[in-house]
Amino acid sequence: MIFVTGGAGFIGSNFVLGWLAGKDEPVVNLDKLTYAGNLENLRGVEQDARHVFVRGDICDAALVTALLGTHRPRAIVHFAAESHVDRSILGPGDFVTTNVNGTFVLLEAARAYFSSLNGAERDSFRFLHVSTDEVYGSLGPQDPPFTETTAYAPNSPYSASKAASDHLVRAYRHTYGLPTLTTNCSNNYGPYQFPEKLIPLMVANALAGKPLPVYGDGKNVRDWLYVGDHCSAVRRVLQDGRLGETYNIGGWNEMSNLEVVHTLCDILDELAPASRSYRAQIAFVADRPGHDRRYAMDARKIERELGWKPAETFSTGIRKTVQWYLDHQDWVRNVQSGDYLKWVEQNYGARGTAQERAA
């Protein structure tokens, strides 16, 4: 059995679904079900006896300790995190609580549990921590991509909180001998992503006839990774990764935000045509404070050591993603709660379009 945190969120639920589709090994899934945690993501396994869902907080030390003692997992895969930069700017406290304190609680519980193991159980136990490329900071246009040895330089409360959690994981490996692994991934996209992130937000707004808000000049560059590829990489690292090592997981797909939005509009023009091109809905808004200009990942280490590389190109992955959202518009409507809509208004409404700011 494996123990997954945050398994009702975007990446976590994709991981759980993929795990149970390919393996018989059960999963204990701990998720607090905040705004981005959604049991609808897991509807396909709600009757599956191999999936044990527990609603709870990783900051609850007694609960985490009890779950480890009861289920005795061979591995912990730690996805649970507050993960949206804009939300971290508006409310950084939640990010410190979940990403730093929550990871600390989980590490302490894992350390106590690991110390109780003997023989083969002890030898096989793993703690895999899922992190982000944002801990490395921002790149210039000609800078080489991030490697696993790039110095940390986080620029937002979100990335700072994830950097802190990465350091805690490293410390628990070196101080206590906890068998840890860390992965740092680039921007994920795909099914079940909460529609505050760029791609699902653009699709939802386009279909609703709303503006497509693009920060600044739209030239901020990200490396885009299909979520199914990310999950397959995590499985490979869990299986064969070298203890104490970090593995960068990237899609080898550097694109500016505006290029991504143009691609989405063009696919929607084909698959769900309207009276005019969806590009007409693009609206440039005031830039995010401290917006990192470029991220890029060097994923050669995981390919060299573990034989992993992404199966999807951006063109194949983004088409699958748009089609999924077109086929699951009920899912989008269900997750767009009143709290979500209030957040969108708070974040984007105050910025206004470029035209409104110039008036």
DSSP assignment string, 52-70: EEEE--TT-HHHHHHHHHH
Question: 313 pLDDT exceeds 90?
Answer: yes
Q: Which domain holds residue 133?
A: 2-191+224-253+294-313
3-state secondary structure of 192: coil
Place of tokens 């709303």: 210
Q: How much is the pLDDT for 320?
A: 98
Asked if pLDDT for residue 339 goes beyond 90, the answer is no
Q: What is the pLDDT of residue 349?
A: 64
**Token code pair at residue 237:** 């690292």
Q: What is the CATH number of the domain that holds 147?
A: 3.40.50.720
Is residue 258 situated within a structural domain? no
Catalytic residue flag (residue 158): yes
Residues 172 and 126: beta-carbon distance below 8 Å: no
Question: pTM for the full model?
Answer: 0.93
Which residue of the set 134, 166, 196, 223 is catalytic?
Answer: 134
- pLDDT at residue 359, as a whole number: 37
Q: How far is CA 233 from the centre of its chain?
A: 13
Domain assignment present for 64 = yes
Out of 74-83, 109-118, 335-344, least confident range: 335-344
In percent, the amount of the chain with pLDDT more than 90 equals 84
Angle, CA of 318, 152 and 5, to the nearest 5°:
60
Cβ–Cβ < 8 Å for 259, 221: no
- CA pseudo-torsion sign 103, 109, 115, 118: negative
What single-letter amino acid sits at 278? Y
Q: pLDDT tens digits, residue range 205-260?
A: 999 999 999 999 999 999 999 999 999 999 999 999 999 999 999 999 999 999 99
Residue 115 lies in a domain: yes
* Known catalytic residue at 247: no
Contacts by 140-143 with C-beta closer than 8 Å and gap 24+?
140/293, 140/294, 141/293, 141/294, 143/294, 143/296
Catalytic residue among 31, 57, 113, 158: 158
Q: What is the mean pLDDT of residues 39-51?
A: 94
Q: Is 307 exposed, middle or buried (0-12, 13-18, 19+ CB in 10 A)?
A: exposed
- Domain membership of residue 97 (yes or no) is yes
Residue 162 located in a structural domain: yes
Q: How far is it, in rounded angstroms, from Cα 85 to Cα 311?
A: 28
Distance CA 183, CA 169 (A): 11
Please say if 134 is a catalytic residue: yes
* Confidence tier at 352 by pLDDT (50, 70, 90): low
| Predicted confidence band of residue 357 (pLDDT cuts 50, 70, 90) | very low
**What is residue 343's predicted lDDT score, i.e. its pLDDT?**
58
Mean pLDDT of all residues in 129-143: 96
Mean pLDDT, all residues of the chain: 93
Residue 207 lies in a domain: no
Task: Please work out, in degrees rounded to the nearest 5, the angle formed at the alpha carbon of residue 231 by the alpha carbons of 305 and 242.
Answer: 30
Question: Is it the case that residue 290 has pLDDT exceeding 60?
Answer: yes
Do you know the residue count of the chain? 359
Kindly report the backbone phi and psi dihedral angles of residue 128, in degrees, each rounded to the nearest multiple of 5, phi listed first.
Answer: -105, 120
pLDDT digits (tens, 9 = 90+) for 60-92: 999 999 999 999 999 999 999 998 788 889 899
Any domain includes 35? yes
Q: Of residues 333 and 179, which shows the higher confidence score?
A: 179
Alpha helical stretches, state H, the chain = 10-22, 61-71, 85-90, 92-95, 103-115, 119-124, 157-176, 198-208, 227-240, 257-271, 300-306, 314-327, 329-335, 338-344, 354-358
Residue 264 located in a structural domain: no
Residues 6+ positions from 164 with CB-CB distance below 8 Å: 96, 99, 100
**Active site residue: 133, 229, 292, 312, which one?**
133
CA-based radius of gyration for the chain? 20
Q: Is residue 174 classed exposed, middle or buried when 0-12, 13-18 and 19+ CB atoms within 10 A define those classes?
A: exposed
Look at residue 358 in the predicted model and tell me its pLDDT. 40
- Number of domains within the chain: 1
